[in-house]
Amino acid sequence: MVKRRDYQPIYIRAARRKRRWRHVGWFALLVVLVTLGIFGWQTWQENQQNQLNQYPVQGVTINQGSGYLDFQQLAKHHQFVYIQATSGATYSDNDFSNNYSRAQGADLKVGVMHTFSFTSSAQRQVAHFKQTVGQRTGGLPIMVAVSYYDQYNSSNRRMATQGQKLKRVVTRLERTYHQGVVVYASRTVLAQFVRPVLPNQTEWVANSQLGHYGDRVALIEYDANGHLSQNGQSQAVGFTVFNGSHQQWVHFYQQD
């Protein structure tokens, strides 16, 4: 007996071919998009590396969220590290002492960081910093980080008073430690809040693009949420470059 052939209407076969070609088209489009994405990512990385190569001095910022860092390994590719110490008048980073002690054994320039508080007096902030840090301030200018939060922004009419507080914090730290202070903030905060009260202050531009900046800008943070791979683990760090040559870097860490 002859097996019956499965005859189907021509429109069903056409619809199936159409779906098949549609799937092939979507797959081809996906391959093109993935290829372009990989090419774009590689191009971006190459451009980023080319830009980084223009800055011979590079470093990182760390805090207790960074985990256990191998500073000897860090020193193979970076020249400096800034370690979070205090914030406001009460907070101290849990890992400051340990990080600072271990960093001393590596070929790195070390700096310490204080985060400015709008709600604590200048006197209390500096006193807390001195109590926590003591003389463990490293060989780099002390970093004071400033960022807007809550109602403390450019629309607050009392920000001029807050600016004077920041000035007192910076001045007292400079007089106490005689090693300079660099203020870390976004370009907006620097322009609106910092420069009106500290027009000649050394600056550190936060989470910004690599590029050309004036002499006032000493450091450029180009990735605030970076990750460093060490011993198979990912460590959360901020990536920063020094805005100058090796010779200018020597002057920066030797200033007092």
Lowest mean pLDDT among 64-78, 142-156, 216-230, 242-256: 242-256
Model confidence pLDDT, tens digit, residues 4-63? 555 556 666 666 777 777 777 777 777 777 766 666 555 555 665 677 889 999 999 999
Model confidence pLDDT, tens digit, residues 54-112? 999 999 999 999 999 999 999 999 999 999 999 999 999 999 999 999 999 999 999 99
Contacts 24+ apart (CB under 8 A), 98-102: 99/62, 99/69, 100/136, 100/138, 102/69, 102/71
Both tokens assigned to 154: 């450019």
Query: Could you tell me which residue, 21 or 221, shows the higher pLDDT?
Result: 221
Question: How far is the C-alpha of 223 from the C-alpha of 202, rounded, in Å?
Answer: 20
pLDDT at 33: 78
| Residues whose CB falls within 8 Å of the CB of residue 170, separated by 6 or more in sequence, listed in order | 144, 181, 183, 198, 201
Mean pLDDT score, 116-138? 98
pLDDT at 200: 95
CB 60 within 8 A of CB 237: yes
Indicate if the pLDDT at residue 117 is higher than 80.
yes
What are the C-alpha distances in Å from 85 to residues 90, 111, 114, 143, 236?
11, 10, 6, 10, 16
